[in-house]
A and B are shown apart, each in its own frame.
Chain A
């Protein structure tokens, strides 16, 4: 299908302000009377505050006040607290002090005397699971069914797991489908591996700084979040206010990656502090603090057994995961990992068992492909190992397992909206010249050896049921109200182009309203889970359809005839039988205000969310309103799929590798915004390279101290750690359940890269797999020198 806007590049409205520095991030805002807050955080991994002596700090000139855990609502373990008297990780905020400037506040912090009673702590899930092992929280060590409880394995159970034998320890999460035993009986090759994936920090470029003040009974919050409208209910709840009394501004977000999806504790802190002090409060989070409150990926310690038939098809998968949740309750990663395995390899039978364990490390949360990308790093190299044993080409073993539109997913083996992974593999294989290139596998060039790898990624990539809102004002402008957050993907604007498509209007006449709840924004999905493109092209389409209907009705009422006699083009509505009978969109907008009712927003549909209702109320009478909830059907899980190809050169003397060439192919339905898609595939690749071989998360088990509280210690990839050029492509086949044919892609874009690089490394090493992320030069050196690895088997947080 040929579109006017969909599939075309355009200049997002915030580009210029980003590159010129005019963009205002939360810490760029200043208001009269603003004071600056600083945090005092826990120096120990677990403790109880016995006494706080503020006398010296509060007596300092320029100090305005203090906020402690007693001033904010208590949190229910293991939800992170805004401020706490029982810190559960090094860096957990205990109190905040506000002063006339940051230096005074920081000087005052150093004068606070906090008496802390140390409590038992752990940095390792398996350490916590042993009999009598330390629990990360006084309430328990595991988080199951949204509740804290206590689980300790027997010594035998623990030892079996650490020895890499089939785990027998209690695993409260369990699901399965198919006949597992029969699956393994049917297998020609059965692989059994233990694995570890590191849970490393999100490392958002923009630390989560916040400004808050109160005005006319409303709390104004300037924050940094991935989502916009989706934040409103959770932040209002955290602040203990009604949604209508919250004004939330987040026009830009300097990176969230899953750590800024909805509200988070620090986002509410200045609201409470500002109320207490009756002064606007700015809390700038430092780079080091961002490593504490900014959260990290869930780490896996696991065991996997997989059966492969002679043709390479996966007959059975038995997956067991111990999840390192850090100090916070999350824990969907294991089940998501199972879901990814179920769709990417379509096993006949599968079982997932998991136990989510808390540790006294930084809080964990969703991080780009939470679960899916950890398992991609483990399963894909194992798939290659099986292919090697079966004598099958790595691309071919992926083809024979690849999901198509009849694919089944998850425990319930539900359907998908569509899937074209064979097409993605074939397209990539052709563009990468896989057959020719694979001949270079293992080729030596001095101390260097070539490795070729292919990897796959998956994440669900679409939601439904959210709202769209468009408006035409009497000046003829088409206002596209987007409640989508500006998390760096440009989806806040690219999805509105579905509305421009329906209204058949020029993009130059459109104004995108976003980034501030006072601009009257509709209820929108969370900008996470790769869903926005699917979800909000639908919602915008629905709102624009509502508007189109109203435009035709207004034309009919005004110019005579029936609504069906009219069509739109060039910002005009015209009678198809007599094109001289026409009105401009500006005239339609003016007429809608006269007509009132549902045209002007005085009336609105019953099924829209209260956030959207308030938006419409705010806009009522200002023009023609198109508003609708997305009630279009969805026949199953919306899959986002990606495949990547990597050629590397590994230096056997240094353990270092260079990515010579990289190609990513997206299978995300119709391409909505080509440059945006390329950006996602490139960004995902860089993230993937980091997970594969660089990004670290180190804790000293003796004292619970983190070793990585700065970029240089965490080692995200730099410009010189990634290939000069990253090739991207897309399958570009429309999904039937999206009016524009689109699905999401952000997270699989990373998983496929991690997998491709790890598979290429394994290929360069003649098939050796480490079953671990990241794979670092010291591991490769030790392997090649036939030395033992320095970490204990299944040890966490060692790199």
Chain B
């Protein structure tokens, strides 16, 4: 076993336009690596658990940075730092859910360096996979976590399909709840993908957690005005209060009229490979007042369909409780 923690030799490219970045990404294909804040990248490369020959550093592309007003909504450049988003008055005023989710990412230092795009496309934290083991997700033919003695406290209760890894992102559930759209630029031009469809489980692609193809760059996230200034709830339960990944998180937006919930979207982190939508919960709360009674009833069905592993059955009552709290407010 190597000692790790040493960067290998890698060719560095520093494009200043999205076009050039896409051209480089296409040219290097599987050997290319897009670099944003580096908070996930450097771990993989210094641990030498993943390899690349060409680093395409996106940090000099100004077009990927900043927060812009859209009709009713906003567009956030994928390279915008999490700290900037957290402190942006428009985000805070209109999409408090995102501001709060961003504030729960990792630590202040990591939020200073880390970008929204990086937070969304970061790889799973399954510790077996991170060790560089040849599991399904790494191209092998086994899962080390889902075995009779696997240590899988952090793993999935929904949507497992050979792989039981979960999404580590705190912003992804918030953006799924907000019906955000991902702006992706590739060799064939731009395509827009709903956040909910951007993230994919192992049943769709066991090697990648998003639909982002080789040669494509996530350039921006658009949040439509639909949920602007709506009531929201975000909570992340992790062992530590900072610099930790969610055991379970909940992101919810709700519209109320006359004291009753008229529309709602719920997405949970830490329970599946993708932000887990809870359509049954959404249906159950519509037409009901936002109170503990509604929350209790909604929470009770939040775990429907959960399949637990050796060490993660606590996530069942935990997701029930968090949904209850989200509804209760």
Contacts and interface: CB of A to CB of B under 8 A. Distances in A.
Interface of A: 38-43, 90-91, 102-103, 106-107, 109-110, 286-289, 447, 653-656, 694, 696, 698-703, 705, 707, 709, 711-713, 715, 717-721, 776-779, 781-782, 784-785, 787, 790-791, 798-799
Shortest beta-carbon contacts, A-B, top 3: A286-B5, A778-B314, A785-B317
A654 B149 contact: no
A717 B237 contact: no
B116 to A, nearest CB: 20
6 contacts: A40-B3, A103-B9, A106-B8, A288-B3, A654-B321, A720-B242
Interface string B4-26: 11111100000000000000000
A203 B26 CA distance: 42
Contacts of A777: 237, 239, 247, 314, 318
B311 A798 contact: yes
Given A702-B147, A707-B151, A787-B313, A712 B244 contact: yes
A657 B242 CA distance: 14
A698 B151 contact: yes
B2 interface: yes
Contacts of B310: 790
B3 A781 contact: no
A705 B153 contact: no
B111 interface: no
Contacts of B1: 40-43, 90-91
B3 A703 contact: no
Given A40-B2, A698-B151, A702-B149, 8 more contacts: A38-B6, A106-B2, A286-B3, A288-B5, A655-B314, A778-B153, A778-B312, A781-B321
B47, B149, B150, B151 interface centre (most CB from chain A within 10 Å): B151
Contacts of A705: 128, 131
Contacts of B47: 288
Interface in B96-150: 107, 127-128, 131, 144, 147, 149-150
A787 B243 contact: no
Contacts of A799: 153
A156 B325 CA distance: 48
Contact of A653 (B8, B312, B316, B324): B324
B9 to A, nearest CB: 7
B100 to A, nearest CB: 15
Contact of A700 (B48, B151, B243, B313): B151
B251 interface: no
A702 to B, nearest CB: 5
A102 B6 contact: yes
Interface in B302-321: 310-314, 316-318, 321
A626 B156 CA distance: 68
Contacts of B243: 711-712, 718
Contacts of B244: 712, 715
Nearest to A690: B240
Nearest to A90: B1
B241 interface: yes
B255 to A, nearest CB: 25
A627 to B, nearest CB: 44
Contacts of A91: 1
B79 to A, nearest CB: 24
Contacts of A447: 325
Contacts of A654: 235, 237, 318, 321-322
Contacts of A694: 239-240
A721 B312 contact: no
Nearest to A87: B1
Given A701-B149, A713-B127, A718 B6 contact: no
Contacts of B316: 785, 787
Nearest to B110: A712
A700 B241 CA distance: 26
A109 B2 contact: yes
Interface residues of B, number: 43
B174 to A, nearest CB: 18
Q: A103, A110, A699, A781: which has the most chain B beta carbons within 10 Å? A: A781
Nearest to A447: B325
B240 to A, nearest CB: 5
A153 to B, nearest CB: 21
Contacts of A110: 2, 48
A102 B151 CA distance: 34
B38 to A, nearest CB: 16
A785 B240 CA distance: 22
Interface string B245-256: 101000000000
A779 B314 CA distance: 8
Contacts of A288: 3-5, 47
A144 B293 CA distance: 61
A785 B319 CA distance: 12
A110 B6 CA distance: 12
Nearest to A693: B239
Contacts of B128: 700, 705
A666 B19 CA distance: 65
A694 B243 CA distance: 13
Nearest to A708: B127
A392 B15 CA distance: 72
Contacts of B245: 712
Contacts of B324: 653
Given A40-B1, A655-B318, A776 B242 contact: no
Given A103-B8, A781-B318, A289 B239 contact: no
Q: Which of B5, B128, B247 has the most CB of A within 10 A?
A: B5
A103 B7 contact: yes
B318 A791 contact: no
Contacts of A715: 239-240, 244
Nearest to A790: B311
Contact of A41 (B3, B5, B7): B3
B152 to A, nearest CB: 9
A718 B314 CA distance: 24
Contacts of A712: 243-245
B247 A707 contact: no
Interface centre among A41, A109, A790 (most CB of B within 10 A): A790
Nearest to A97: B3
Contact of A790 (B4, B127, B312, B321): B312
Interface in B281-329: 310-314, 316-318, 321-322, 324-325
Contacts of B312: 778, 790
A509 to B, nearest CB: 43
A105 to B, nearest CB: 8
Given A702-B149, A707-B151, A790-B313, A718 B2 contact: no
A656 B249 CA distance: 13
B51 to A, nearest CB: 11
B6 to A, nearest CB: 4
B151 A781 contact: no
A790 B140 CA distance: 28
Nearest to B48: A110
B54 to A, nearest CB: 18
B241 A720 contact: yes
Contacts of A779: 314
A705 B2 CA distance: 15
Contact of B153 (A784, A787, A790): A790
Contacts of A778: 153, 247, 311-312, 314, 318
Contacts of A287: 5
Nearest to A703: B144
A510 to B, nearest CB: 39
B144 A718 contact: no
Contacts of B317: 781-782, 784-785, 787
Contact of A719 (B3, B150, B242, B314): B242
Contacts of A709: 131
A166 to B, nearest CB: 29
A791 B4 contact: no
